[in-house]
Chains A and B, each alone.
Chain A
Amino acid sequence: MAVDEGSWYGQDSGVSQVRGQLFEAICLLATSVGIVSVLILLLYVTLDAFEPLTADPGWHLVFLLTLVLPATLLAIYYYRSSDPAGEVAYVTTGLPIVGLLLSGGVLVVFAELLAIKEWFALALSLGAVGVVWYAHKRGRPSAVLERFGILILGTAVSVFGLPPTALARVAGLPKRIVSLRELVLELPYLPLSSLQVVATLTLPVAALAGLFVARRRASRRDGVVAAALIVTGALFGPVIDAVVGINGEVWVVLVTMTAVPVAVYIEGVVRRKEGVAGLAFPLVLVGGVAVGTVLVNALGFAGPDVWLDWSYLTSAPSTTPEEAGIYPALVGSVMLLLVIVAMTFPVGVGAAIYLEEYAPSNGLVGKFVTLIEINIANLAGVPSVVYGLLGLALFINFVHLPSGSVIVGGLTVGLLILPIIIISAQEALEAVPDSMRQASYGMGATRWQTTRNVVLPEALPGIMTGTILGLGRAIGETAPLLLVGIAASVGLAPAGFLDLTGAMPRQIFTWAFEPKPEFRYGVLAAGVVTLLAVLLVMNATAIVIRNKYQRE
């Protein structure tokens, strides 16, 4: 389209050139006006949340010299030099942040929702079901339906136990068959809680990481070494607990969720020798903060009076602005996300697989499939408040789940983002080249085998990207939460999925009507920045996954 409208028709068309340039300038202005105004608003809210002007000028000067200046110079160097160093710097800075957020999420779940002991028992009983399932698959590979039944019944028995039945009484069995989970909980001796975390969390992660390393370095031994290193690192937890006093469980979770991915990534960078210079960036950041803090303390410069600090993140809402915090709402949002993921990911990806891989395009079923596709597109445009009404009538008035509970909020928002997840997963599946499917069919694979072994692994990064973006949409959704009665403000984090809960956006809505200016310009701004920071991390993760995937 870029045909040069040069000057062959003469230079005397000056008027029309002015008109054209004016038009272009207006269009450019229009493109930037929305972006610029929102950037200004974001700047305002950040300033309100951190109030940097309350700090000494010396404080700013110290951190400018120790942190901002070196980091900027390094960034300019990366930008000018080779491409991979910049990306390595970006990922090695971002990966620990994502890992820390995940670790925080796991620790919050352990602290508020599922005591480590209960998690241990649950994991063991599920593992037992897995062993039975695998043994059955080995022993009777052809009895598919039987195995399916065993899977469901086994999970039920092992997690929930069986209620007393007439049959059991006749057979002379005890009144109620106790579940494996309860048996584990009643054991007289349980290992240290940090060891329980090692067994149930670190071992699977170590196995995965070991497999990954083994495949990447094409060496079984390296994989085993990597897995052994991870487990050893985690086992330091109990020791450190006894010696230094850092909580052993925190150590184990941090090692498993944060240190392992970072170490695996750095190992890859060092081995490929691509962009090793990028590893300096997080070191410069951490070093700058450390040196700056020491200097500021030594010189006696006061830092800014920030609203968004550690105590804000860890305390409950309050009527005094200085004491108000967002912790229960933050935990509520994390738990809502758990429900949303558990519900939308399997159903959404399953639906996308059916529509892309299985759905016939003609016949009666074909017509139904067309109807489904139109329907999904329309559902994506239904106002969120209508989903709130659906959740209110369906889950609360009809099923009688407790109003304002985690499960109700999660299911309602889950229904809302389901079409978004389906559409993005469909796009990811569509991008898998047909030749790969044909090759798999040519090898004699069935449709499901092709889908599971060829299409899904290829489309997984795209599906992950779409899901994370969808979850970003879910975490900021407020209107449905209002309608299903999510609490305006809670003092305690929910301890179970049926408990009343708050949520970050709901809490922001509540604070918006507090008359005190400290709330409007301080507490509220800090809440908005927290929400946006979580969103930013999620979106940045999605973009990194997408970029990596597009390149390969």
Chain B
Amino acid sequence: MSADTSTTEAITSPPEQATRERLYRYALFACAAVSILVTLGIVLVLGYGAIDFFQQYDPVAFYTGTEWIINRDKLGVLPLLSGTVLVTVLSAMVALPIGLAAATYLSEYASERARSVLKPALEILAGIPTVVYGYFALVYVTPFLQALGLPLGTFNVLGASIMVGIMILPMVSSLSEDAMSSVPDSLRQAGYGMGATKFEVSTGVVIPAAVSGIFSSFILALSRAIGETMIVAVAMGQSPQLISVADPLSNVFESNLPMTSAMVQLVQAENAGGVIYQSMFAIGLTLFVVTFLMNLASNRIAAHYREEYE
């Protein structure tokens, strides 16, 4: 509605006013364009740094190497990837079922009053700084799990993953609830008309109808878990390990080094110059590409379900 009105303004208003209007328009446009510059900056910085790194270090060796020992210049990313996968899978096991059940409760069962208390309370979980979650994992959760008899080290995957799961929980619950609430009531009425109970309508009608929105929230939450840095940097320690296929449970109880905390380790390492320093950008690029694609996919799927029902 804007392009045509601005030309009429230019014709009818005095010239200095038109100059001023144009000035403001350009200034505001520049503000909006900053976000594009930020993306370009990220891509350029990561791409340039990564190219620099791969000129000094064989990309094949980087992506297939099974050892990460920076003091001996062994930079294989697979142990870091396996650390990230461990955290993501474990935190998903915490957050996805709980988040989906919470969304079902909030959307289908909760009274107006219960919702008005529970929803903001869940949002508080998203507002707590992640370094605080890391502290919780290290100082309270791990000793608690040890007291339960689990053979955990001081720094371990399990405690950190539980906290990452709690951190991404509100994202799953609120986005899934949005998707479920936007399922039209007529579908529910039809279900009740067929004699279905509320349980059958919730699980058999609403959740399948909202599945694309739920799926999109899952992807977004997983992408958050992959990019989460502080919880793992505080509570998971710094010893990179490949998942042992024979006994993956042992990895869960021990320390590990996912990609994000590897970057923290690299930037803090005192003798890190040259190729080791540059490897940070290759890891960053990998992380950025993976999370960016996941976010893009999630937004696409979410846009799809919005189109379907609105």
Which residues of A are in contact with B by a Cβ distance under 8 Å?
1, 3, 5, 9, 13, 16-17, 19-20, 23-24, 26-35, 37-38, 41, 44-45, 141-145, 148, 346-351, 353-355, 358-363, 365, 369, 371-372, 374-379, 381-390, 392-394, 415, 418-419, 422, 441, 446-448, 469, 472-473, 475-479, 482-483, 485, 505, 508-509, 512, 520-521, 524-525, 528, 531-532, 535, 539
CB-CB nearest 5 A-B residue pairs: A476-B129, A383-B227, A350-B31, A30-B101, A27-B105
Asked if A27 and B38 make an inter-chain contact with CB atoms under 8 angstroms apart, the answer reads: no
CB distance from A511 to the nearest CB of B (A): 9
Once the chains are docked, how many angstroms separate the CA of A62 from the CA of B13?
Answer: 73
Which residues of B are in contact with A by a Cβ distance under 8 Å?
1-3, 5-6, 9, 13-17, 19-21, 23-25, 27-36, 38-39, 41-42, 45-46, 48-49, 97-99, 101-102, 104-106, 108-110, 118, 121-122, 124-125, 127-132, 134-136, 138-141, 166, 169-170, 173, 185, 188-189, 192, 195, 197-200, 202-203, 220, 223-224, 226-230, 233-234, 260, 263-264, 267-268, 280-281, 284, 287-288, 291-292, 295-296, 298-299
Q: Known A-B contacts: A44-B140, A383-B229. Give 11 more (CB < 8 A).
A: A34-B170, A142-B16, A144-B23, A375-B39, A383-B227, A386-B227, A418-B34, A447-B9, A472-B127, A482-B233, A512-B234
Asked if B23 and A378 make an inter-chain contact with CB atoms under 8 angstroms apart, the answer reads: no
Take A355-B32, A446-B9 as given contacts and tell me if A30 and B105 are in contact as well, using a CB distance cutoff of 8 Å.
Answer: yes
Q: List 18 A-B contacts (CB under 8 A).
A: A23-B202, A28-B109, A34-B170, A38-B128, A148-B23, A358-B29, A359-B32, A372-B32, A379-B39, A381-B295, A382-B227, A385-B287, A389-B45, A389-B281, A476-B132, A483-B267, A505-B131, A508-B131
Once the chains are docked, how many angstroms separate the CA of A35 from the CA of B98?
Answer: 12
Asked if A20 and B295 make an inter-chain contact with CB atoms under 8 angstroms apart, the answer reads: no
Tell me which of A351, A385, A418, A441 contacts B28 (CB under 8 A). Answer: A351
Asked if B192 and A383 make an inter-chain contact with CB atoms under 8 angstroms apart, the answer reads: no
Residues in A whose Cβ lies below 8 Å from that of B110: 31
CB distance from B142 to the nearest CB of A (A): 11
Residues in A whose Cβ lies below 8 Å from that of B102: 27, 30-31, 34
CB distance from A222 to the nearest CB of B (A): 36
Tell me which of A17, A374, A418, A508 contacts B132 (CB under 8 A). Answer: A508
Asked if B185 and A1 make an inter-chain contact with CB atoms under 8 angstroms apart, the answer reads: yes
Residues in B whose Cβ lies below 8 Å from that of A386: 42, 46, 227, 284, 287-288, 291
Residues in A whose Cβ lies below 8 Å from that of B19: 144-145
Take A27-B105, A376-B35, A531-B132 as given contacts and tell me if A35 and B125 are in contact as well, using a CB distance cutoff of 8 Å.
Answer: yes
Residues in B whose Cβ lies below 8 Å from that of A388: 263, 267
CB distance from A375 to the nearest CB of B (A): 5
Asked if B38 and A1 make an inter-chain contact with CB atoms under 8 angstroms apart, the answer reads: no
Residues in B whose Cβ lies below 8 Å from that of A419: 35
Chain B residue with the shortest CB-CB distance to A16: B197
Which of A33, A354, A418 lies at the interface centre, i.e. has the most chain B CB atoms within 10 A of its CB? A354
Residues in A whose Cβ lies below 8 Å from that of B287: 383, 385-386
Tell me which of A5, A32, A34 contacts B192 (CB under 8 A). Answer: A5
Once the chains are docked, how many angstroms separate the CA of A362 from the CA of B32?
Answer: 17
Residues in A whose Cβ lies below 8 Å from that of B29: 354, 358
CB distance from A127 to the nearest CB of B (A): 24
Residues in B whose Cβ lies below 8 Å from that of A38: 124-125, 128, 166
Asked if A372 and B36 make an inter-chain contact with CB atoms under 8 angstroms apart, the answer reads: yes
Asked if A384 and B128 make an inter-chain contact with CB atoms under 8 angstroms apart, the answer reads: no
Tell me which of B1, B134, B229 contacts A385 (CB under 8 A). Answer: B229
Once the chains are docked, how many angstroms separate the CA of A418 from the CA of B291?
Answer: 19
Once the chains are docked, how many angstroms separate the CA of A119 from the CA of B115?
Answer: 49
Asked if A358 and B28 make an inter-chain contact with CB atoms under 8 angstroms apart, the answer reads: yes
Take A351-B32, A375-B36 as given contacts and tell me if A16 and B188 are in contact as well, using a CB distance cutoff of 8 Å.
Answer: no
Asked if A20 and B264 make an inter-chain contact with CB atoms under 8 angstroms apart, the answer reads: no
Residues in B whose Cβ lies below 8 Å from that of A28: 105, 109
Residues in B whose Cβ lies below 8 Å from that of A473: 127
Asked if A383 and B5 make an inter-chain contact with CB atoms under 8 angstroms apart, the answer reads: no
Tell me which of A33, A383, A393, A524 contacts B135 (CB under 8 A). Answer: A524
Once the chains are docked, how many angstroms separate the CA of A355 from the CA of B188?
Answer: 37
Once the chains are docked, how many angstroms separate the CA of A476 from the CA of B131?
Answer: 8
Once the chains are docked, how many angstroms separate the CA of A26 from the CA of B203?
Answer: 13
Once the chains are docked, how many angstroms separate the CA of A159 from the CA of B301?
Answer: 52
Asked if B104 and A41 make an inter-chain contact with CB atoms under 8 angstroms apart, the answer reads: no
Once the chains are docked, how many angstroms separate the CA of A392 from the CA of B272?
Answer: 15
Residues in A whose Cβ lies below 8 Å from that of B185: 1
Tell me which of B20, B127, B135 contacts A512 (CB under 8 A). Answer: B135
Residues in B whose Cβ lies below 8 Å from that of A383: 226-229, 260, 287-288, 291
CB distance from B263 to the nearest CB of A (A): 6
Tell me which of A145, A355, A447 contacts B21 (CB under 8 A). Answer: A447
CB distance from B178 to the nearest CB of A (A): 14
Residues in A whose Cβ lies below 8 Å from that of B42: 382, 386-387, 389-390
CB distance from B4 to the nearest CB of A (A): 9
Asked if A3 and B192 make an inter-chain contact with CB atoms under 8 angstroms apart, the answer reads: yes
Asked if B264 and A479 make an inter-chain contact with CB atoms under 8 angstroms apart, the answer reads: yes
Residues in B whose Cβ lies below 8 Å from that of A41: 136, 140-141
Asked if A379 and B21 make an inter-chain contact with CB atoms under 8 angstroms apart, the answer reads: no
Once the chains are docked, how many angstroms separate the CA of A528 from the CA of B38?
Answer: 31
Once the chains are docked, how many angstroms separate the CA of A381 from the CA of B39?
Answer: 12
CB distance from A430 to the nearest CB of B (A): 14
Asked if B299 and A377 make an inter-chain contact with CB atoms under 8 angstroms apart, the answer reads: yes
Once the chains are docked, how many angstroms separate the CA of A483 from the CA of B263?
Answer: 8
